[in-house]
Each structure stands twice: as C-alpha cells, then as structure tokens.
Copies of this chain bind each other. A is one copy, B any other.
C-alpha cells in the first residue's frame, strides 16, 4: 500500500527512461500518488524527469510538479517554454499552487507565462494572488471556494454548488455571502442534509464564522487554525469581502517550516537548508554562526590573557576552563529554549519578565548547587589544591546563575522589540556565556588564590 522508494525501483525506472519505453514507464508510476512520483522525480536529472513527465496526463503531471522539491522544479521548468508551462501546468493547478509556482520564476519568465494562460479567470486570480506578501494570509490562500448567496434556497444552493464543485478538489466549508460578497457565515453540509430543499439559506446558515484579514501574518494564521481546530479559514479584505480560503494542509507546511527554522537557528544554521543542498548553500548557512563563535573565542582568549600572570603561577586553573565555558553555554541554551518555545506556542501565561527571571533563577539555584557540590567533591578528592576546588565550585555556581538569567532575558527582550527570539538561542547565547563565564572564573580565581 505504502510506496517506498528503493534503489532497485529507481534503476528499473531509469532503464525505461533511457529506452524511452512509454508502456513500462506508465506501468511503473500508474499506481503511485503524485507525491510519490515527485519523490522519484527528485532523484532524477531534469532531462530524465522530462521523459517521465511526458507519459503522464496534464492533471497528474501538474500535481506531481507541486510536490517536487523547489530546486528540482526549477531545474525542470528551465527545460520548458513559457507556453508549455502555462498550458501544461498552470491551467491545471489551483490558483494558490499556480501562484506559488509562478512566483518562483524569474520576472521575465513570469510575465511570459501569465500571458500564455488560456483560462483568463485563472490568470486574473493568479495576478491577484501574486500581489500579496508571501508570508501572509493572502500568500497562503486559494481563490477556489464554494459560496452561496444568503437569499437562495437549499435547492438553488445545491444547483450552484454542483457547478462550483466541479472546479474544486475538497469541499471543506460552504461560505454564505450577501450580494456584495460580504462574508456572513457558513452553511454546514449537515444542515443541508437535514433540511428540506425549499428552506432558505438565510434561515439555516451559521453566522458564527472565524476569518482572517488578507494581510495577517502566516504564523498567526497557523496559530488560529491550530487553536480552534479549523480545517479551512476564509480570508477577507478590509471591508469584509470574501477573497479566498486557507486550508489546513498549507498551514501544516507553515507549522513545520517555523519549527524547523527555530531548530536550525538553535543549532547555528540560518535559512531552510537540507542535507541534499549544495556544499556552497550549506556553508553559507553555517559559516556566519561559526564566525560568531570564532569572535567569541578571541574575546575569551583576551580575557584569559588578562590573567596570564595567575596562570603562570597556578597552571591548574587552566584545567577547568572548558568545564566553565561548556556549562555556561549549556545552561544558557536551556533557558532560552524554554522561553523561545513558550513564545512560539503562546503558552507563556500572563506573568511578566520578572516572574520568569525569578523562576529561572530558582531552577538555576538548584541546578547550580547540585553541579557545584559534585565538582567540589571531585576536586576535593582528586586535586591537591583546595583553592582550586573552591574556585571552580564557586565559579560554576555563579556561571550557572548568570547564564540562566541571561538566557531567559535575551529572548524576552528580543521578542519585546519584535525581533525573532530564536536568534538568541544557539551559538549566540553559547558564545556570550562562554566569555562571561571565563570572566567570572578568573576573577574568582584571582581573588581566592591571592587571599
């Protein structure tokens, strides 16, 4: 039932591609879902993909195209003329998918493709959609939806819906509008099943409906659909007119993207890169964060240099430099991660910055005390210098406290100024806490050894 891409399958397919063996190719992909065929095509070169694509009918081929990875799609479309792209794909796609695809083209290509779209309504819808910012409700929505006039009867509504339904794959919600397209509510399919066909829509529709403005941020859209368990959400303009609808599958992508972005940032990777991206793309996403680390390392070197005299007298101070630095980094990342996730989920409750800091401080007191006692015990038994044992424990305790407060504070402040708090996690927090930790360690060491 479930398709799994294997090397054997791919070899057989490639073979058929090179023989240009249409029946064999059809046989190989016939039972597959477009998403599966896309997975196969992602593994092929664009020329090979072209052969496979030519055996599919246009509806199927355009579905496959939408499931391709962005760079496979780009490479593949580069082989086609604007006329081919318009006729063979755009005319067969929902307006939102078509607009997404066209937005990936170069400005030049874009105009040419739009000019070639046969269905002029589709062309107008696409041009409309292209005007909206990508990461807003307008960028997510499709124009295709089913709507009925509040003044109709059930029987008239059913007739009209039949016409509209031919264009649409999934009927999630039937929207009720007035003669000016103002969104009034929704008509539950259940209600249509349960009422006589002469009933007036006005008497049976549900006026309670949640909608979003077309310029609403996509993350907010995702939060709303998730919180209220919605599968479709209508989009309206400033005057309340129904413009389109957003469906849950688009929002699932947004939710994943956001989670992945945060994860990547916490790991010191910017942008949405994948293991299959080019070496150049991977390096560009990672090097800047390493340079932050490098800069922090140089600062750290400067701090230690200040205490070179102490180090010459007590070289054992150097032993615990990595421990202090690592613990500061780890605690800071933990604290900031808790805050970043709380902010992302709107699960922070009503308490302010101070009560958050107080709580993190308590957790840090506990964690710091446990770690300090353990490291003291270790040094007491395995190291000769009691001064070192005191220094390391005390410094570790302080570093855990400072790192926790700093890790909590920074994302909260960033969020207050509407900067993505996830920027604070990962290498940035680690690096700052490294340097702070070294300062604390050597300062305490200096004071304790001298006395």
From 215 to 237 in chain A, residues with beta carbon under 8 angstroms from any chain B beta carbon are 224, 226-229, 231
Task: Decide if A447 is an interface residue (CB 8 Å cutoff).
Answer: no
From 222 to 275 in chain A, residues with beta carbon under 8 angstroms from any chain B beta carbon are 224, 226-229, 231, 248-249, 251-252, 255-256, 259-260, 262-264, 266-269, 273-275
Residues of B within 8 A of A229 (CB): 35, 249
Are A300 and B322 also in contact (CB < 8 A) when A43-B349, A255-B252, A259-B256 are?
yes
CB-based contact A33/B347 at 8 Å: no
Residues of B within 8 A of A325 (CB): 321-322, 325-326
Task: Decide if A297 is an interface residue (CB 8 Å cutoff).
Answer: yes
Instruction: Kindly report which residue of chain B lies nearest to residue A297, judged by CB atoms.
Output: B323
Task: Decide if A152 is an interface residue (CB 8 Å cutoff).
Answer: no
Task: Decide if A23 is an interface residue (CB 8 Å cutoff).
Answer: no
Residues of B within 8 A of A83 (CB): none
Residues of B within 8 A of A275 (CB): 338-339, 341-342, 347-349, 356, 359
Q: List 10 interface pairs A-B (beta carbons < 8 Å), by A numbering.
A: A266-B266, A267-B336, A268-B330, A268-B333, A290-B371, A294-B375, A312-B315, A318-B318, A318-B321, A322-B325
User: Which of B33, B269, B276, B350 meets A228, CB within 8 Å?
Assistant: B33
Chain B binder among A46-54, A108-116, A132-140, A426-434: A426-434
From 272 to 303 in chain A, residues with beta carbon under 8 angstroms from any chain B beta carbon are 273-276, 279, 282-283, 286-287, 289-291, 293-294, 296-298, 300-301
From 303 to 347 in chain A, residues with beta carbon under 8 angstroms from any chain B beta carbon are 304-305, 308, 311-312, 315-316, 318-327, 329-331, 333-334, 336-339, 341-342, 345, 347
Which residues of A are at the interface with B, using a C-beta cutoff of 8 A?
Answer: 1-2, 5, 7, 10, 33, 35, 42-43, 69, 158, 161-162, 165-166, 168, 170-172, 189-190, 193-194, 210-211, 224, 226-229, 231, 248-249, 251-252, 255-256, 259-260, 262-264, 266-269, 273-276, 279, 282-283, 286-287, 289-291, 293-294, 296-298, 300-301, 304-305, 308, 311-312, 315-316, 318-327, 329-331, 333-334, 336-339, 341-342, 345, 347-350, 356, 359, 362-363, 366-367, 370-371, 374-375, 378, 400, 425-427, 430-431, 434-435, 438
Are A341 and B263 also in contact (CB < 8 A) when A294-B371, A327-B297, A430-B329 are?
yes
Most buried by B among A262, A305, A338: A338
> What is the CA–CA distance of A374 and B279 in the complex, to the nearest angstrom?
20
> What is the CA–CA distance of A33 and B194 in the complex, to the nearest angstrom?
25
> What is the CA–CA distance of A325 and B319 in the complex, to the nearest angstrom?
13
CB-based contact B347/A274 at 8 Å: yes
User: Which of B255, B334, B375, B431 meets A255, CB within 8 Å?
Assistant: B255
Residues of B within 8 A of A267 (CB): 266, 333-334, 336-337, 425
> What is the CA–CA distance of A210 and B35 in the complex, to the nearest angstrom?
13
Are A249 and B231 also in contact (CB < 8 A) when A290-B327, A330-B289 are?
yes
> What is the CA–CA distance of A363 and B256 in the complex, to the nearest angstrom?
26
User: Which of B171, B251, B348 meets A276, CB within 8 Å?
Assistant: B348
Residues of B within 8 A of A33 (CB): 210, 228
Residues of B within 8 A of A400 (CB): 290
Known A170-B231, A189-B189; further 6 A-B contacts with Cβ < 8 A: A226-B249, A231-B248, A255-B259, A293-B330, A297-B322, A321-B321
CB-based contact A194/B162 at 8 Å: yes
Residues of B within 8 A of A336 (CB): 267
CB of A7 to closest CB in B, whole Å: 6
CB of A407 to closest CB in B, whole Å: 10
Residues of B within 8 A of A158 (CB): 193
Most buried by B among A251, A275, A289, A356: A275
> What is the CA–CA distance of A378 and B315 in the complex, to the nearest angstrom?
24
User: Which of B262, B264, B283, B427 meets A366, CB within 8 Å?
Assistant: B283
Residues of B within 8 A of A324 (CB): 297
